[in-house]
Amino acid sequence: KTTKSNKYNSNNRNRKEKEYKSYNNKSNKRKSNSKSKSKSRRMDLIPWGNNLIKSKGKGLNIKERLEEIAKKGQSAYKDIYRRAKVMKSSAFEGMLLKATWPGNEPVPNDILNEIIKHSIPAFKYSQSSMDDDPYHMTLHKIWTKMCEKDWRTVSKSFYLLHCIVRDSSVESCEEFTDAIKEMSRTRNPKKPDHKYFDLKLIKQLDSFGNSYKDFVVAYAQYVLYRSKNFHAKFNQFDELNSKSKETEVVALLKKAQQSLNLGLKVSLTKKDQYNAITGQILKLLAIDLRDLYQQFTSTLLGIVDSSKGSYASPKANNDDVIDLLNFHKDYTVKIKEFLLKIQKNLQSQRIKIITDITPGISST
């Protein structure tokens, strides 16, 4: 019995040892596979794992590896940006084509909203360098439309620019103002025979638009002068305070005076010229002139009436102030007549014009 018992115990130990070795082999194999898979995963996640750039027989250190990845990331970003730029450019050109189409319809409001409320606000996120300026790019594209021969396309192009420099954010309007000033001194690289916003090209309309030529040119002069000297809804006046120098305030009023004079020159000679396109332009112009007149009136009052406040030294020349007062007196009569004339002639187009120019009365 004892011999049988020892034999049984010996066989049992041998069997357990074999099972233990078998279990260890399987466990080690699983661990080895797991390590291999884990390493493989890590190699996939770490870009520098297999393709190290050797330097003096040694691999890159951590800093160098990170710099290498950063370069690769920048390259990928630029590639994506280029593609997005092409898509954005194509989309904008499509909207610009619809907005300035030489038809008898006005500029569609949905396209205006898309450009001003969505496309332009995204500009500050898309500029990657000084050579890639979306404000200059936009103005270049609009200028190409302004150079066409059809009076409807040219008029709509200036209306579009007018809306952009008036209704965009103050920050964007300032960017456009600076860009227009700079481009006006620059030759068009694609057509170097002229500078941007040269009015000589605006006057070259086809025979179909001859009767609208004076209207188009006058509106172009107003929009360009306004765009170079004022942004948004004449926000420069809102920035004035008691610390503002009176000489600078008078200089701003003189610019407003010139802008108001140019605005009154935008007129039509025949009743049948009042249509959907000219009506849309005249409505915006009327709002603009009312807003500017109200700002002009309240600011001038601050100079001549000490009870309304005063501005800092140096003080302005008395003759300049008197000239502004005389202009204001004459212009008050002229702008009322101008607005009443527009209101009367646009009734057939069902376009409403507010004729009350009292400061504080909203234009919209």
Q: What is the pLDDT of residues 228-271, one digit of tens each?
A: 999 999 999 999 998 999 999 999 999 999 999 999 999 999 99
| pLDDT cut 70: percent of the chain above it | 71
> Which pLDDT value is given to residue 51?
43
pLDDT band at 308; cut points 50, 70, 90: low
> 212 with 155: CB under 8 angstroms?
yes
- The residue written with tokens 């969505």 in the block is 118
> Which pLDDT value is given to residue 98?
93
pLDDT band at 189; cut points 50, 70, 90: confident
> Which pLDDT value is given to residue 358?
79
> 182 with 140: CB under 8 angstroms?
no
pLDDT band at 361; cut points 50, 70, 90: very low
| pLDDT cut 90: percent of the chain above it | 58
- The residue written with tokens 């710099």 in the block is 67
> Which pLDDT value is given to residue 124?
66
**Least-confidence region, from 221-230, 295-304, 348-357:** 348-357
| Six token digits for residue 274 | 């009042």
pLDDT at 129 over 70: no
- Stretch 146-150: mean pLDDT: 96
CA-based max dimension of the chain: 138
- Stretch 215-232: mean pLDDT: 97
Q: Mean pLDDT over all residues of the chain?
A: 82
**Least-confidence region, from 52-56, 128-132, 275-279:** 52-56
Q: Quick one: CA dihedral 268, 271, 273, 279, positive or negative?
A: positive
- Stretch 105-130: mean pLDDT: 81
> Whole-angstrom Cα distance, residue 313 to residue 121?
38
> Which pLDDT value is given to residue 118?
84
Separation in Å, CA 255 to CA 133, 230, 292: 28, 9, 11
| Six token digits for residue 352 | 């409403």
> Which pLDDT value is given to residue 164?
96
- Stretch 310-315: mean pLDDT: 89
pLDDT at 130 over 80: no
| Each residue's pLDDT tens digit, 52-104 | 444 444 455 655 666 666 666 655 555 445 444 534 567 778 889 999 999 99
**Least-confidence region, from 11-20, 49-58, 302-311, 320-329:** 49-58
Q: Compare 44 and 281 and report the one with higher pLDDT.
A: 281
- Stretch 147-161: mean pLDDT: 97
